[in-house]
Amino acid sequence: MSGPAGRFAPSPSGDLHIGNIRTGLLAYARARQTGRRFLWRIEDLDRVRAGAAAAQLRVFADLGVVPDEEPLVQSQRLDRYAAAVETLSAAGLVYECYCSRRDIQQAPSAPHAPPGAYPGTCRSLGEAERVRRRAELAAAGRQPALRLRTENAEITVADGLLGTITAPVDDFVLRRGDGVYAYNLTVVVDDSASGIDEVVRGDDLASSAPRQAHLGGLLGAAEQSWLHVPLVLGESGARLAKRDGAVTAQELTALGWSTADVYAWVWRSLGGDGGVDLGDRPWATIDDLVDGVDFAQLRREPSVFLPPTAADASTFADGTAPSP
Ligand code: GLU
């Protein structure tokens, strides 16, 4: 099958929490509402926990969400990332970088470079110096990172929820010093290969969109649109995390939550009981969510999730107590 598609691309580093789940459900709903395929990508080049990818897919299957195609697995696509680096390299847009994190922090920033941007230390080194630095790294058992040569410009992309996103596009890393292809490269290569023409994901990644749009242009990828949805926070106001308590699907299930409770919470978190018209009763199924969510009036503010405890039956959507 081909044609336009949306996707969910969780890193299989652990169990999904309710915030990740909400983002994935919104990506699915958006794809269904707009006639796109819904694809799933396993971003397993880094921080992988054995069994996590399958567990994440199972959580969604239990919630009634099954991707339209077999998931794409990044670790099986290294040749594609290598080919993309080759294309950029042939255009003179790739250079080796020998800097450690410390070198970068300590270097004076280049004139006109946006704050936090790579200072350009290795951008214009001569070949003799490169040979020397490469040998130095090799002696320490390391290899250079590869960076994209850019103009250090601020680039703006349009976002369906945020309006516009402006962020500096500096000489970002394409392949890390440990040989792992960088997130920004793999996302662009894979989205393009899968026909992902709209990206729905958490707004913690919004500032990556200009870099990805720039790189997509260089690689001849079709233009994408973006919809960065707000994150779910814990009680402290920091993004939801394991330390907040029962936050994963598995933990919530163990406390007695049903899939209807998950959907009811998503409904409430989007303002269903607070003035946003999402239908007059909490959602209980994926079809309710697909029918009910209105992206034109999605809130931009984050939602807070207060994890239930076994003693706290009132948190349950239907008011029932958890099973003992
Ligand atoms: N794998 C990334 C994450 O889990 C998401 C990548 C993306 O949606 O572009 O945060």
Residues 67 and 55: their CA atoms lie apart, in Å, by 14
Of all atoms in ligand 1, which is nearest to the CA of residue 187? Answer: 9
> Is residue 198 within 8 Å of residue 6, measured between CB atoms?
yes
Calculate how far, in angstroms, residue 191's C-alpha sits from the geometric centre of ligand 1: 12
Q: 43 CA to middle of ligand 1, Å?
A: 7
Which pLDDT score, from 0 to 100, does residue 316 have? 53
Give yes or no for residue 43 CB within 6 A of ligand 1: yes
DSSP string, 186-250: HHHHHHHHHTB-EEEEEGGGGGGHHHHHHHHHHTTPPP-EEEEEPPEE-TTSSBP-GGGSS-BHH
How close is the Cα of 315 to the center of ligand 1, in Å?
A: 29
Within the chain, what is the greatest distance between any pair of CA atoms? 73
Go through the domains of the chain in sequence order and give each one's CATH number.
5-76+230-312 (3.40.50.620), 78-228 (3.40.50.620)
- Report yes or no on whether pTM surpasses 0.85: yes
Residue 302: count of CB within 10 angstroms of its CB: 18
Q: C-alpha 151: how far from its chain's center? A: 25
| 7 Cα nearest atom in ligand 1 | 8
Instruction: Give the pLDDT score at 312.
Output: 63
29 and 243 in contact (C-beta within 8 Å)? no
Closest by alpha carbon to 307, among 229, 254, 230?
254
Q: What is the pLDDT along the chain (324 residues), one digit of tens a residue?
A: 578 999 999 999 999 999 999 999 999 999 999 999 999 999 999 989 999 999 999 999 999 999 999 999 999 999 999 999 999 999 999 999 999 888 888 887 766 666 778 989 999 999 999 999 999 999 999 999 999 999 999 999 999 999 999 998 999 999 999 999 999 999 999 999 999 999 999 999 999 999 999 999 999 999 999 999 999 999 999 999 988 988 999 999 999 999 999 999 999 999 998 888 898 899 999 999 999 999 998 988 999 999 988 766 545 555 455 543
* Ligand 1 pocket check for 11: Cβ under 6 Å: yes
Using only C-alpha atoms, the chain has a radius of gyration, in whole angstroms, of 22
Q: Please state, in angstroms and rounded to a whole number, the distance separating the CA atoms of residues 234 and 251.
A: 15
Atom of ligand 1 nearest to the CA of 212: 9
Q: In testing the pocket of ligand 1, which one of 45, 183, 227 has its CB within 8 Å of the most ligand atoms?
A: 183
Question: CB–CB of 24/44 below 8 Å?
Answer: no
pLDDT for 105? 81
Atom of ligand 1 nearest to the CA of 191: 9
